[in-house]
Amino acid sequence: MYLSPRFRAFAAGAALLAASALAQAQQALPNVVILATGGTIAGAGASAVNSATYAAAKVGVDKLIAGLPELSKIANVRGEQVFQVASESLTNDNLLTLAKRVSALSKQADVDGIVITHGTDTLEETAYFLTLTVRTNKPIVVVGSMRPGTALSADGALNLYDAVSVAGSKDAAGKGVLVTMNDNIDSGRDVSKNVNIKTSAFSSQWGPLGMVVEGKNYWFRAPVKRHTMNSEFDIDNISTLPVVEIAMGYEGVSSIAIDAFAKSGVKAIVHGGTGNGSVANRIVPNLQKARTDGAIIIRSSRVADGFVIRNAEQPDDKYDWVVAHDLRPQKARILAMVALTKTSDTKELQRIFWEY
């Protein structure tokens, strides 16, 4: 088909204008990096009705991004596959590797926000570790899903869209590591998985920080505990994590676990006690001996909500024990590992448990 020189010049000019408008539009969008680690959000089931029976950690980050073209309208997104594992199988070394990558990216001028896709089983532990150790004000958002993308009413796509939207939001800066699940924006410190099969699995006893709806953030409170830029810890100065184990309290509890932990030379034992961190009288001597032999003893509670009162159920001053405040055993373990990279002084440790 003949095109006049004048039309060809017009078409070329229009194409140039369109290209520059697109480039300008993309420049206006935030740059968000998605670090993928596995989990259900990367899971796949045999059929659409398999909302609970499926294989986690199957779908790669590029496929996750390609499967959500709406992301390109809210951010310039690129992905990195850090791991491809179910989160219950993550290790301390995985945690260090991930946090160091987040820290390095947060220092790049061409990165405005970071999303970590993660299995929901230990998402709360990773989110807390990152908020304690990554020194940045940029938004870091950890996200997962309770159903694989292959299932009816899968929740991963909207959770991921919300995570990228929040990670690219200027008003999400300086709030510590965040978790976007089921329309909520939760604090990485406060949130836990409280239901093991519902899309509304995640919540905090202190409530969400806000909500994200159709790409807009609605904030209702801000964290008061120290985090990120206000933390005294820095992942760039942490190369290994001390061994901290958890011993649960329950009717009929024996000292087998505590004695084994103490004998193995753990740095600290978190006791997930009943009620307000109660300890069965028959195992108090075992914890006292573990303390005498050098292990730090941290009294937490198996009860989901509330917080352990120092010197209430046990004479913590007399025994030289630390209380975990409102932190559940799994979160208390994260803080204990980080704190013990800096100090073993129990008064300093207790301050850290009050402040973080």
Interface contacts to ligand DGL, rule CB under 6 A: 39-40, 56, 86-88, 119-121, 144-146
Distance CA 99, CA 95 (A): 6
Place of tokens 């004998």: 263
DSSP 152-186: TT-SHHHHHHHHHHHHT-GGGTTS-SEEEETTEEE
Q: Select 193 or 225, whichever has its Cβ closest to ligand DGL.
A: 193
Distance CA 227, CA 176 (A): 6
Q: How far is CA 242 from CA 87, 228, 296, in A?
A: 20, 21, 11
Q: Select 151 or 290, whichever has its Cβ closest to ligand DGL.
A: 151
Residue 85 Cβ, how far from ligand DGL at the closest point, in Å?
7
Q: Select 143 or 322, whichever has its Cβ closest to ligand DGL.
A: 143
| Distance, first Cα to last Cα, the chain | 71
Residue 325 Cβ, how far from ligand DGL at the closest point, in Å?
26
Distance CA 277, CA 308 (A): 6
Q: Is 337 in contact with 330 (CB distance < 8 Å)?
A: no
Phi, psi for residue 203 in degrees, rounded to 5 = -160, 165
Active-site option among 40, 122, 133, 150? 40
Neighbours of 108 (CB within 10 A): 12
Which residue in the shown chain puts its C-beta closest to ligand DGL?
119
Distance CA 306, CA 321 (A): 19
Residue 39 Cβ, how far from ligand DGL at the closest point, in Å?
3
| 274 a catalytic residue | no
Q: Select 87 or 346, whichever has its Cβ closest to ligand DGL.
A: 87
Residue 164 Cβ, how far from ligand DGL at the closest point, in Å?
18
Q: Select 39 or 329, whichever has its Cβ closest to ligand DGL.
A: 39
Residues acting as catalytic residues: 40
